[in-house]
């Protein structure tokens, strides 16, 4: 099965010519984040920004489940069922679309503050920790009591729809976490106009428990415990440092 949650993000038919001239330090992010650049004055106008980065997580997956009907409530015409579901090796894909204005045409685009700021956004959503958090969340065996508002006995189609809705909610939870970090970046940099003091510390703490709690996103106890582990190993720390290597340099 394949799940996407952002219908606004569709890949460009024609790659923007700037992409072919991207310096080496940007190429890794372009490849990792499947980045496209498009001119979209209307979307930027509606967002009230000078540029805009849109991201989307897609999940290719299959799941297994068991269910046990608990009974029917004739007063509310609802069935309840105990659900247990788990996912087999979800494959995650990430895409980005950077929207720019038609009037934005600097002679050296890759040195422009605006484009570099948008790639700060790309780096945040392609942070290796967020992909690990999402995969961990999706792979956990989950158990819950589901309610089906219908008179007829729930069928396999109803059970699978219920599970799909739960998976969609999980993916959107991660997207809300990333969007909150996007907003935090804009807040701290005045939409990219000012430099962030100690950029390395800024990016490193985004997906620590401090950073997650600031976003007020509920991840659940098991996922929170996993987040606490992400900075506990030297290998994880090296991966994070490598991801943000060129971004931590002053602009």
User: How do residues 103-141 score in pLDDT, each as one tens digit?
Assistant: 999 999 999 999 999 999 999 999 999 999 999 899 889
Average pLDDT over residues 30-55: 94
- The angle subtended at Cα 78 by Cα 76 and Cα 79, nearest 5°, is 150
Residue 250 lies in a domain: no
Render pLDDT for 204-213 as a digit per residue (tens, 0 to 9): 889 989 999 9
Neighbouring C-beta atoms of residue 127, cutoff 10 Å: 22
Residue 99 lies in a domain: yes
Provide φ and ψ at 232, rounded to 5°: -85, -15
Residue 33 lies in a domain: yes
Q: Which residues pair with 83 in a beta bridge?
A: 67, 144
Provide the pLDDT confidence category of residue 88 given band limits of 50, 70 and 90.
confident
Residue 111 lies in a domain: yes
Residue 248 lies in a domain: no
Distance (Å, rounded) from C-alpha 60 to C-alpha 40? 29
Residue 220 lies in a domain: yes
Indicate the number of domains in the chain.
1
State the average pLDDT for the chain.
89
Provide the pLDDT confidence category of residue 250 given band limits of 50, 70 and 90.
very low
pTM of the model: 0.88
Residue 178 lies in a domain: yes
Residue 249 lies in a domain: no
Query: Domain range for residue 110?
Result: 2-243
Of 156, 174, 150, 172, residue with least CA distance to 85: 156
Classify residue 65 by its DSSP letter. Answer: E
Q: Which helix (H) or strand (E) holds 64?
A: strand 51-73
Q: Are 79 and 71 in contact, with CB atoms under 8 Å apart?
A: yes
């Amino acid at each position: 099965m394949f799940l996407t949650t952002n219908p606004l993000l569709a890949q460009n038919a024609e790659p923007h010519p700037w992409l072919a001239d991207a310096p080496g330090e940007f190429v890794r992010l372009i490849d990792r984040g499947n980045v496209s650049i498009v001119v979209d004055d209307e979307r930027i106008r509606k967002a009230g920004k000078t540029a805009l980065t849109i991201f989307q997580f897609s999940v290719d997956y299959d799941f297994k489940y068991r269910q046990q009907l608990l009974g029917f409530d004739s007063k509310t015409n609802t069935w309840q069922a105990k659900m247990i579901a788990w996912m087999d090796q979800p494959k995650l894909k990430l895409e980005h679309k950077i929207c720019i204005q038609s009037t934005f045409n600097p002679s050296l685009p890759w040195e422009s503050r605006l484009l570099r700021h948008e790639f700060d956004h790309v780096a945040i959503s392609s942070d290796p920790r967020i992909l690990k958090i999402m995969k961990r969340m999706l792979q956990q065996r989950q158990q819950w009591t589901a309610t089906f508002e219908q008179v007829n006995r729930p069928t396999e189609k109803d059970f699978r729809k219920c599970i799909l809705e739960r998976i969609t909610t999980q993916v959107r939870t991660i997207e809300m976490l990333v969007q909150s970090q996007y907003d935090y970046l804009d807040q701290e940099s005045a939409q990219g106009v000012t430099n962030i003091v100690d950029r390395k510390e800024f990016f490193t703490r985004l997906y620590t428990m401090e950073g997650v709690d600031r976003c007020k996103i509920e991840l659940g106890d098991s996922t929170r415990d996993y987040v606490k582990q992400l900075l506990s190993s030297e290998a994880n720390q090296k991966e994070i440092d490598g991801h943000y290597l060129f971004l931590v340099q002053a602009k």
